[in-house]
C-alpha cells in the first residue's frame, strides 16, 4: 500500500472539478483496504471511498482526509440455480462487465450499457437505466465494514434497495466499502425492450433484437444524449443525470397537470411503488426555462440532455452548485416540485 499526498481529484471525476485529497491510497485488494483504514484510524483521518468518479461533485477545497480509490479488478462466472452468476471486483469497469455478460449471451443488465463508473458503485445507488436496475440481479454485495474491519457478504434484501437508493447511501452511509458484487443473470433470455427510447429504436425492425443489438442501441442512444464519455466533448464533462425523477402521489401529479404550463402537454409519468407515480425531471427542467444548451458562464446544460449539468471548461465546484440551485429554484417556482440531486457531494 502506497500513501500519496495532495493528489488532485478533478482528473478522477467525469465532471472535472474539485480540489486535492490530503492523502490518497489506491487499493488493489481487500488487504490494501484494511491497511488504509488502519492508517486513517491511527491518524484520525476521515475516509472517502472513490470508484469511477462518474457521479461526484468534489468541492474546490478537496478532501481533508484520506481518499481510498477502489481498484479491485476481475470477473468470474459460475452457473447457479438456472442463472449464471457474474462476480466482479468493486473497481472493475461497469461497462466492461455488461459487455462480457452480453458476449456470454446472458440477460439482465444489457440496458445499463454505457453507464460510466465501476461495479462497486452500482449497488450504492441502485443504478438503473432504460427499464432495468441492478437490484433486479444483485445476489451478494461483498463489503468491508469500516467500523469493525469485518468482511461481510450482504444479501439483496439486506441492501435495502429502492429507487436510486440502498442502505449504502442512506441508513448505513459510510459504513461499508464495496469490494465485489455478484449478479445472477439469465442465460439465453431475450433482452428487455420496454423503455420508450428502445421501443422507438426497434419499431421498424421485423425481428426481435438480440442482446448485442440492444446493448449497441443503448450505447448509441446514450451517445446521442452525451451520456457516453467522449474525450474533448464538453457535454461529457458531467456527472450524468444531475436530478432524480420526482416520485409523487397521484393527487400531486393532478395538481401539477392542472397548471397553465401543462395545458398543451401533461408531464410524462411512470408507475412507482405503493401507488405513487414518477414524473420526468427533464420535462420539468425544460419547461422551467432551462433548455438544452442553456449556459451561465462556465457551467451549463448539455446540448443533448436536459438533466446533465456540464462543466463547459474551467468551471469550479462552487459554480456547479450555484447553477444547480438556480435550476432547483426555477422548477420549484414554476411547478412547486423540489428536485433532488443524484450525484454525491464530497468535501462540502
Q: For 18-36, what is each residue's pLDDT tens digit?
A: 999 999 999 999 999 999 9
Whether 341 contacts 324, CB under 8 Å: yes
- Cα–Cα distances (Å) from 172 to 57, 147, 168, in that order, read 21, 11, 5
pLDDT at 121: 93
Site of grid cell 414524473 = 279
pLDDT digits (tens, 9 = 90+) for 48-82: 999 889 889 999 999 999 999 999 999 999 999 99
Which listed residue (71, 101, 241, 302) is catalytic?
241
Q: Look at residue 191 and tell me whether its pLDDT is greater than 90.
A: yes
Which listed residue (54, 92, 110, 164) is catalytic?
164
Across residues 118-147, what is the average pLDDT?
A: 95
Q: Look at residue 281 and tell me whether its pLDDT is greater than 90.
A: yes
Joined grid coordinates for residue 174: 459510510
Mean pLDDT, the chain, rounded, equals 94
pLDDT at 315: 96
Q: Look at residue 226 and tell me whether its pLDDT is greater than 90.
A: no
Q: Give me the percent of the chain exceeding a pLDDT of 70.
A: 98
Examine the residue annotation and report whether 164 is marked as an active-site residue of this protein.
yes
pLDDT at 128: 93
Q: Look at residue 116 and tell me whether its pLDDT is greater than 80.
A: yes
Confidence band for 234, pLDDT divided at 50, 70 and 90: confident
Q: Look at residue 175 and tell me whether its pLDDT is greater than 70.
A: yes
Tell me which of 133 and 164 has the higher pLDDT. Answer: 133
pLDDT at 168: 95
pLDDT at 100: 98
Q: Give me the percent of the chain exceeding a pLDDT of 90.
A: 85
Across residues 260-283, what is the average pLDDT?
A: 92
Q: How many angstroms separate the CA atoms of 334 and 216, rounded?
A: 38
Give the three-state DSSP class for 186.
strand
Whether 228 contacts 114, CB under 8 Å: yes
pTM of the model: 0.86
Q: Look at residue 228 and tell me whether its pLDDT is greater than 70.
A: no
Across residues 223-233, what is the average pLDDT?
A: 73
Q: How many angstroms separate the CA atoms of 227 and 200, rounded?
A: 18
Across residues 332-339, what is the average pLDDT?
A: 97
CA atoms in the 13 A half-sphere facing the CB of 204: 1
pLDDT digits (tens, 9 = 90+) for 298-318: 999 999 889 999 999 999 999
Q: If we measure between CA atoms, which residue out of 88, 67, 185 comes closest to residue 141?
A: 88
Whether 200 contacts 112, CB under 8 Å: no
Across residues 110-125, what is the average pLDDT?
A: 94
Amino acid at each position: 500500500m502506497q500513501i500519496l499526498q495532495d493528489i488532485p481529484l478533478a482528473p478522477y471525476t467525469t465532471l472535472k472539478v474539485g480540489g486535492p485529497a490530503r492523502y490518497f491510497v489506491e487499493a488493489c485488494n481487500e488487504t490494501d483496504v484494511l491497511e488504509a483504514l488502519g492508517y486513517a484510524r491511527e491518524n484520525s483521518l476521515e475516509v472517502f471511498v472513490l470508484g469511477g468518479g462518474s457521479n461526484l461533485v468534489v468541492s474546490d477545497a478537496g478532501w481533508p482526509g484520506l481518499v481510498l480509490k477502489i481498484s479491485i479488478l476481475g470477473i468470474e462466472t459460475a452457473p447457479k440455480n438456472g442463472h449464471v452468476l457474474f462476480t466482479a471486483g468493486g473497481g472493475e469497469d461497469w461497462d466492461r462487465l455488461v459487455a462480457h455478460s452480453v458476449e456470454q449471451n446472458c440477460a439482465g443488465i444489457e440496458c445499463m450499457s454505457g453507464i460510466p463508473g465501476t461495479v462497486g458503485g452500482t449497488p450504492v445507488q441502485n443504478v438503473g437505466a432504460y427499464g432495468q436496475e441492478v437490484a433486479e440481479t444483485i445476489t451478494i454485495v461483498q463489503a468491508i465494514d469500516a467500523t469493525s474491519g469485518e468482511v461481510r457478504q450482504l444479501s439483496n434484501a439486506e441492501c435495502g434497495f429502492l429507487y436510486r437508493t440502498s442502505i449504502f447511501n442512506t441508513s448505513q452511509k459510510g459504513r461499508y466499502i464495496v469490494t465485489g458484487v455478484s449478479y445472477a443473470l439469465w442465460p439465453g433470455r431475450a433482452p428487455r425492450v420496454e423503455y420508450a427510447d428502445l421501443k422507438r429504436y426497434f419499431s421498424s425492425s421485423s425481428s426481435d433484437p438480440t442482446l448485442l443489438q440492444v446493448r449497441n442501441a443503448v450505447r448509441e442512444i446514450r451517445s446521442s444524449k452525451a451520456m457516453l464519455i467522449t474525450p474533448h466533448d464538453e457535454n461529457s464533462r458531467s456527472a450524468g443525470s444531475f436530478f432524480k425523477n420526482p416520485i409523487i402521489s397521484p393527487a400531486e401529479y393532478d395538481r401539477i397537470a392542472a397548471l397553465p404550463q401543462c395545458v398543451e402537454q401533461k408531464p410524462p409519468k411512470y408507475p412507482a411503488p405503493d401507488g405513487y407515480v414518477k414524473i420526468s425531471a427533464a420535462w420539468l427542467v425544460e419547461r422551467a426555462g432551462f433548455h438544452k444548451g442553456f449556459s451561465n458562464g462556465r457551467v451549463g446544460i448539455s446540448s443533448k440532455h436536459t438533466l446533465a449539468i456540464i462543466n463547459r471548461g474551467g468551471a469550479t465546484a462552487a459554480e456547479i452548485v450555484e447553477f444547480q440551485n438556480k435550476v432547483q429554484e426555477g422548477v420549484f417556482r414554476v411547478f412547486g416540485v423540489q428536485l433532488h440531486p443524484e450525484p454525491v457531494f464530497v468535501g462540502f
